[in-house]
């Protein structure tokens, strides 16, 4: 069976978990306190990050590379479209969320509020939190603009781009940092993706010391 080394609220791990579940690939989850730099873990992954996936006799790192691999090796259901233009748009948006959204929002809210405490790295920097809270509004508006003329973020089919976005937003929703009242379109999109069977594992996550709000796992939020 495949095995994923992860931390529950990492958006990169969540993206891989969603892709695995959507493709019905059975996978054992192992929590990895990667910041303690355990020697065994570093041997598996010199990058020292999560997610790390053991599958098909290989050990893999880098979530974007893992997800493309899973889609190529397990093509059903497809999470990448067929044409080069459409594939570009999916990859652009995966990059948008995993790079831009990550630095401007996730790192400033989730990492300040949760990771710092878990990793014993001090208190949240209030300026970062403020900047993150401002930046997420811009990003939600950008998503609303995309969804104004598309059913899913990258086009009319659900793709990796939706999982990348949902991975970040679900982790932020765990700490009540997403204002679902800001855009009807974004809320409808999240309700659709949240109700997929692939999402169940993520909605069942529990991080000690950080109980999720009641609406987190509620499909009618």
Binding site for a copy of itself (CB under 8 A): 46-47, 49, 56, 58, 60-62, 64-66, 68-69, 72-73, 84-85, 87-89, 91-92, 94-96, 99-100, 142
Distance between CA atoms of 220 and 5, rounded to whole angstroms?
31
Nearer to a copy of itself, 100 or 127 (CB): 100
> Which residues are within 8 A (CB) of 130 and not within 5 positions of it... i.e. 6 or more apart?
none
- Closest contact distance (angstroms) between CB of 26 and a copy of itself is 19
Nearer to a copy of itself, 94 or 178 (CB): 94
- Closest contact distance (angstroms) between CB of 214 and a copy of itself is 35
Residue 79 DSSP code? S
Nearer to a copy of itself, 84 or 214 (CB): 84
- Closest contact distance (angstroms) between CB of 200 and a copy of itself is 27
- Closest contact distance (angstroms) between CB of 49 and a copy of itself is 8
Residue 76 DSSP code? S
Nearer to a copy of itself, 72 or 220 (CB): 72
For 184, other C-beta atoms within 10 Å of its C-beta total 11
Q: Which residues of 77-111 are buried (b: 16+ CB within 10 A; e: fewer)?
A: eebbbeeeebbebbbebbebbbeebbebbbebbbb
Question: Could you check whether the bond before residue 171 is cis, i.e. omega within 30 degrees of 0?
Answer: no
- Give CA 95 to chain center in angstroms: 12
- Closest contact distance (angstroms) between CB of 47 and a copy of itself is 6
Nearer to a copy of itself, 49 or 194 (CB): 49
């Amino acid at each position: 069976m495949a095995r994923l080394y992860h931390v529950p609220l990492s958006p990169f791990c969540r993206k891989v978990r969603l892709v695995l579940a959507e493709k019905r690939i059975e996978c054992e989850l192992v929590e990895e306190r990667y910041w303690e730099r355990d020697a065994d873990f570093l041997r598996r992954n010199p990058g020292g990050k999560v997610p790390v996936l053991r599958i098909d006799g290989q050990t893999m790192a880098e979530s974007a590379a893992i997800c493309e691999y899973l889609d190529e090796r397990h093509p059903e259901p497809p999470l990448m479209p067929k044409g080069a233009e459409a594939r570009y748009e999916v990859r652009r948006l995966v990059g948008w969320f995993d790079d831009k959204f990550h630095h401007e929002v996730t790192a400033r809210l989730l990492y300040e509020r949760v990771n710092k405490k878990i990793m014993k790295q001090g208190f949240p920097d209030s300026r970062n939190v403020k900047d993150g809270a401002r930046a997420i509004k811009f990003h939600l508006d950008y998503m609303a603009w995309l969804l104004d003329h598309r059913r899913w973020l990258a086009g009319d089919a659900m793709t990796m781009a939706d999982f990348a976005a949902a991975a970040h937003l679900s982790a932020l929703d765990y700490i009540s940092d997403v204002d679902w009242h800001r855009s009807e379109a974004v809320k409808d999109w999240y309700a659709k993706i949240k109700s997929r069977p692939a999402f169940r594992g993520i909605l069942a996550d529990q991080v000690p010391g950080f109980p999720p709000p009641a609406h987190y796992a509620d499909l009618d939020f």
